Amino acid sequence: MTRLSQYLALQNKVSEWVGKSVSWMCLAMIAVLGYEVAARYLFNSPTSWAHESTTMLYGTFCILAGVYTHRYHGHVRSEVIYNLFPLRVRALMDCLTGILGLVVLAVFFEITFRYAADSWAIKEVSSKSTWAPIIYPFKSVLPLAVALMILQSFAHLIENIARLCGADIAQQD
């Protein structure tokens, strides 16, 4: 196994682990919402924190689940015309869009990193409820997820370059 193949295998395992780990957040969201429903309708004592907690958990879940989705090419793609091209032409198109995607993700990383850093600098709390939870750790998920997307995109780019060159280093999904 070449170093490139090892990198691809490692990156795919990281994306897989992230996806499977964040899937457990669904249970946390269900528990919080279940508690809120019971408190509100059984005990007539609604919480001030449940809605905002589930919103933060859901945001974290969605942004990190995108890494797993990207690993399996699960984002929206228009493949009607794409699949008509030979494998090498598709690999070339994937290389071009992959490079463009990496540029966009790099810019997005810069923006989200500053966004999270600013939030940490002021120890930001939410103004959406009386609970006022800290939100800077949740804002830190954005640059983390973008960084993971960059790494997965880079792995896809390597696979596409290998397909373009006719090499057999690409990992099977």
Which residues are CB-neighbours of 170 under 8 A, at least 6 positions away?
8, 159, 162, 163
Is 75 part of any domain?
Answer: yes
Is 146 part of any domain?
Answer: yes
The model's pLDDT over 53-108, given as tens digits with 9 standing for 90+, comes to 999 999 999 999 999 999 998 888 778 888 999 988 999 999 999 999 999 999 99
Is 98 part of any domain?
Answer: yes
Instruction: Read off the tokens for 166.
Output: 């006719």
The model's pLDDT over 21-46, given as tens digits with 9 standing for 90+, comes to 999 999 999 999 999 999 999 999 99
Is 173 part of any domain?
Answer: no
The model's pLDDT over 110-157, given as tens digits with 9 standing for 90+, comes to 999 999 999 999 999 998 888 899 999 999 999 999 999 999 999 999
> Which residues span the domain enclosing 135?
3-165
Q: For 128, which DSSP code?
A: S
> Total structural domains in the chain?
1
Is 172 part of any domain?
Answer: no
Q: Is 134 helix (H, G, I), strand (E, B) or coil?
A: strand
Is 57 part of any domain?
Answer: yes
What is the value of pTM for the model shown? 0.88
Q: Is 125 helix (H, G, I), strand (E, B) or coil?
A: strand
